[in-house]
Amino acid sequence: MDEHAKKLLEDIRIARNNDLNAPLRISDRRRVVSLVKLSQVVLLPGYYHYNDLSVEEAMEQLQENLKGEISAALCFSGRNMMLAEELSTKFLNRLPEVMRILMTDIQAMYEGDPAAKSMAEVILCYPGFYAVSIYRLAHELYELGVPYIPRIMTEYAHEKTGIDINPGARIGEYFCIDHGTGIVIGETAVIGSHVKLYQGVTIGAKSFEKDANGNPVKGGKRHPDIGDYVVVYANATILGGDTVIGDYCTIGGNVWLLESLPPHTTIVHAVGEDQIVRKGIRE
């Protein structure tokens, strides 16, 4: 390396925030994505393939690599690396339950889309299932308190599908995403069972509160709760940690909602007007 290049590297180092220096090995995106792919082979062999591994070989590599990545994530976040083996074992022990829940998601997407010819087609072709399946894996790691890795997983799914599900969101069984592009689900959202979302739906936060120094206040309940058997149509936006959508509600396309709804409510934009129609009664 010539002197000019060395000088550039030194200038870059000086400009870099010292808090971002990473002298220790940290969670690497490629290695975390490999954990996703190994898990896919373990859960749905035949549908997913990775490096021509058998399901037994994929499980062996998953056991070996998961511990190392969790250890690196714990170390970088200043936590006890000795927890890695315990956390990896707990995650692996949850895989049968993850598979059970994924079967309900597959069923919901198959039944929720007349274009689906089989449940195999849902697994092979549907971006909604791809994103949800990765979210289910990431959520288990999030619940175990594993740093970094869950978010890398769901951002990988976001990159591939355009569906952005924070691993902290709590989503019930029989979750159906139709089309999916542009869906956003925030970290503190709670979504019930038998919920169906169409493309462009946002389940998000209102403007962040700020502290005395003008900095955004982190944490807290920021995203809505969605009940069971709720349908949210394309490009609807539901915001706020105190917003609760009751069971069996239907949210029409392009609705902007900042308030709670009681169960069995239908809310849509009136055709050609800016007003909304709730339960068929114009407000």
Per-residue pLDDT at 272: 59
Lowest mean pLDDT across 73-82, 124-133, 203-212, 267-276? 267-276
Q: Which domains does the chain have, with CATH numbers?
A: 24-165 (1.10.3130.10), 182-283 (2.160.10.10)
Mean pLDDT of 28-53: 96
For residue 144, is pLDDT > 70? yes
Strand order in the sheet with 266-269: 176-177, 196-197, 231-232, 250-251, 266-269, 276-278, 281-282
* Coil/strand/helix, residue 216: strand
Which are the contacts of 106, defined by CB distance < 8 A and separation ≥ 6? Answer: 119, 122, 123, 129
- Cα 247-98-31 angle, rounded to 5 deg: 125
Tell me what pLDDT residue 242 has: 96
Span 74-111, pLDDT tens digits: 987 777 778 999 999 999 999 999 999 999 999 999 99
Q: At what angle do helices 29-43 and 127-143 cross, to 10 degrees?
A: 110
| Gap between the Cα atoms of 256 and 200, Å rounded | 12
Question: Nearest-CA neighbor of 200 among 236, 149, 242, 244?
Answer: 236
Torsion of CA 187, 190, 194, 195, to 10 degrees: -60
Average pLDDT, the chain: 91
Decide: 58 and 42 in contact? Cβ < 8 Å.
yes
pLDDT of residue 12: 78
Looking at per-residue pLDDT, the higher value among 193 and 15 belongs to: 193
Phi-psi sector, 120: left (phi>0), alpha (psi -120 to 50), beta: alpha
Q: What is the mean pLDDT of residues 184-208?
A: 95
- Position 21 scores a pLDDT of 58
Q: What is the mean pLDDT of residues 208-227?
A: 82
Which residues are CB-neighbours of 235 under 8 A, at least 6 positions away?
182, 199, 200, 201, 253, 254
- The pLDDT, as a whole number, for residue 214 is 72
Q: Are strands 202-204 and 237-239 parallel, antiparallel or unpaired?
A: parallel
What percent of the chain stands above pLDDT 90?
Answer: 76
Do 252 and 245 meet the contact criterion of CB atoms below 8 Å apart? no
Instruction: Give the closest residue to 225 by CA, choosing from 262, 269, 192, 271.
Output: 192
What is the pTM for the complete model shown?
A: 0.88
